[in-house]
Amino acid sequence: MGMIFDKKKVGILGTGEIARIMAKTLSGMRGVTCYAVASRTKEKAESFAKEFKIKHFYGSYEELCQDPKIDLIYVATPHSAHYENVKLALENGKNVLCEKAFTLNEEQAKELFDLAAKKDVLLTEAMWTRFLPLAGKLKEVIASNVIGEISMVMADLSYNIAWKQRIQDPSLGGGALLDLGVYGLTFASMILGEDITDIQSQAVLGDTGVDIQDTVSLKYRSGQMAVVTCSATSFGPCKGIIYGANGHIEVQDINNFSEIVVYNNAGETIAHYKKEKQITGYEYEIEAAFKALSEGWKECPQMPHALTLKIMNMMDFIRDQTGVKFPQ
């Protein structure tokens, strides 16, 4: 008798930086294998496959999407290509995990979710922070009411990466918001939910017309507020801070929570939670996708479609306010 459990086969669409992280992740996981990779050129796909010891490689995205053996396709291309790449995978009946930001706007996202429903396949945004074990821990800490009623959230993610083409180029869906700001908005949403009554945003635009840094303030029906900052020209603290009646909580690295520290109202540390050992942090979204599939679900509870649409909708609204337009 052979193995009863076949390893789940993942295909990676794209060969950029994030594709590399995912290939590394998959090679460290059990029960899952990186079965194939596709690029727009055979050479690129082949050298990627060699480097990560991947069995199959394709010189076109179509071939990958048509491979009947693949259980899940991970889309790792620039934001601007997500819509057409995901559409191609869905039309071929594939389950898809698509890198954030999910699409360029809410309209594109809606269309893809409708198509996924029609094809009866799983489609999830790979907003990895929502899948982290430490994100679950944060929910518990807040629910325990240790810092009392929450009034305010601040969240920053800033890296000096404005020189990168994916940030500079409007045709790639560039700018700080879709790349960095999405994490702060996600953090605020994890704590305060989505019932927002007002958004005020400002941005500094670079030479190419995309936002180089943004500040966004959010007001909630509950009377709570959040301030989200992101800059692509400087290194910020990358922290999330939650203000409560009896103390505050600091989360270090809101793109991959590294630690949670709870302070009382005198500023003394009363609890400290550290990140568990991980391959890259990308493994949890893959596990969640396969768990959802095994349960017969078409979305992951950690990142349901409605939440993706809500964040896309907010980012559309913010770009409207700040005057950032993508050529598409």
Q: What residues contact residue 312 under an 8 Å CB cut-off, 6+ apart?
A: 101, 102, 103, 105, 106, 109
Is 173 a residue whose pLDDT tops 60? yes
Q: Give the mean model confidence (pLDDT) for residues 92-121.
A: 98
φ/ψ (deg, to 5) at 121? -125, 165
- Give the whole-angstrom CA distance, residue 61 versus residue 139: 38
Q: Give the mean model confidence (pLDDT) for residues 304-318.
A: 98
**pLDDT, position 212:** 98
Q: What is the amino acid identity at position 225?
A: M
Q: Give the mean model confidence (pLDDT) for residues 21-46.
A: 98
- In sequence order, which ranges of 120-181 are alpha helices (DSSP H)? 133-143, 165-168, 176
- Give the whole-angstrom CA distance, residue 184 versus residue 228: 5
* Summary mean pLDDT of the chain: 97
pLDDT band at 328 (very low <50, low <70, confident <90, very high): confident
The predicted-structure confidence for 241-298, as pLDDT tens digits, reads as follows 999 999 999 999 999 999 999 999 999 999 999 999 999 999 999 999 999 999 999 9
Quick one: what percent of the chain has pLDDT higher than 90?
A: 98
**pLDDT, position 238:** 98
Is 320 a residue whose pLDDT tops 60? yes
For 40, counting Cβ atoms within 10 Å of its Cβ (0-12 exposed, 13-18 middle, 19+ buried), the class is middle
The predicted-structure confidence for 208-217, as pLDDT tens digits, reads as follows 999 999 999 9
**pLDDT, position 4:** 56
Domain 8-126+282-298, CATH: 3.40.50.720
**pLDDT, position 227:** 98
What per-residue string of b and e applies to 212-241 under the rule 16 or more CB within 10 Å gives b?
Answer: bbbbbebebeeebbbbbbbbbbeeeebebb
Is 201 a residue whose pLDDT tops 60? yes
| 8-126+282-298 and 130-280+311-322, same CATH topology | no
Is 5 a residue whose pLDDT tops 70? no
How many CB atoms are located within 10 Å of the residue 320 CB? 12
The predicted-structure confidence for 95-108, as pLDDT tens digits, reads as follows 999 999 999 999 99
Q: What is the pTM of this model?
A: 0.96
Domain boundaries, the chain: 8-126+282-298, 130-280+311-322
**pLDDT, position 139:** 97
Tell me the fold of 130-280+311-322. Dihydrodipicolinate Reductase; domain 2 (3.30.360)
The predicted-structure confidence for 261-277, as pLDDT tens digits, reads as follows 999 999 999 999 999 99
How many CB atoms are located within 10 Å of the residue 203 CB? 23
Is 53 a residue whose pLDDT tops 70? yes
pLDDT band at 65 (very low <50, low <70, confident <90, very high): very high
Is 182 a residue whose pLDDT tops 80? yes
